[in-house]
Amino acid sequence: MAEAVSCQRGREGEPGRRYRTAIFAVGAVLVLSSVALLHASHPVVSVVEPSSALAERFLICRTEYEEATGRTLAPELTYGPIVQVHKLTKLSLSTGEAGRWRGDGALVGDKHAKEVEVLFTTVGASKVEVEHAQGKETFTVYAKIIRRELRDLTDTDREAYFEAVYELVTIGQEEGVRLYGSNFQSGDEL
């Protein structure tokens, strides 16, 4: 006759299979969370001197929104940094190095600094070139129209939005075309 084995205990008081699996799962979660915590609190950049040739050098793009939240626009995208059109953007190197900054029409002048402020005025890809102590690098940034949550807008941007909506609703089609050009669509036309 076959011997019955309970789920909680195995033969002769040994832990059962479910019990061992649960203990293993809890242990694995604890180990993985400890590794993740150590990795998050000790970034690779702190191990390598930022100005070293071994340090990974990438372009950091920030507007007042990224500075306020500490997050970048769409970091999961792998094709390059995204910047907001018609919003003053600060550019710097991840290593903190100063450089001579040039751009294909997006940057004004030829400036040697750790950080430059740029206003991208056209949607699409732009090249940014930085000549630093270790050499020269060219980065591609992608200027896009960024939608933001209305309640997350700065006071200035929120006011500009409501003024634009007011214009759209109160100005007729003929006057709007005269003021803003043939692409204008009044609220009545929409």
Task: Kindly list the domain boundaries of the chain, sorted by start residue.
Answer: 1-42, 59-144, 150-180
pLDDT band at 80 (very low <50, low <70, confident <90, very high): confident
Compute the average pLDDT of residues 79-97: 90
- The residue that leads in pLDDT, 34 or 138, is 138
pLDDT band at 104 (very low <50, low <70, confident <90, very high): confident
Question: Which of 108, 107, 66 shows the shortest CA–CA distance to 83?
Answer: 66
Q: What is the DSSP letter of 135?
A: E
Q: Which residue has the tokens 């009545």?
A: 188
Give the mean pLDDT of the chain. Answer: 77
Assess contact for 146 and 72: CB atoms under 8 A: no
Assess contact for 103 and 124: CB atoms under 8 A: no
Distances (CA, A) of 168 to 48, 85, 160, 165, 171: 54, 21, 12, 5, 6
Answer whether residue 48 shows pLDDT above 90: no
The CATH fold of domain 59-144: Immunoglobulin-like (2.60.40)
Q: What is the pLDDT of residue 107?
A: 54
- Degrees, nearest 5: CA angle 103-70-124: 30
For residue range 9-25, what is the model confidence (pLDDT) as tens digits? Answer: 555 555 667 767 766 66
- The residue that leads in pLDDT, 173 or 51, is 173
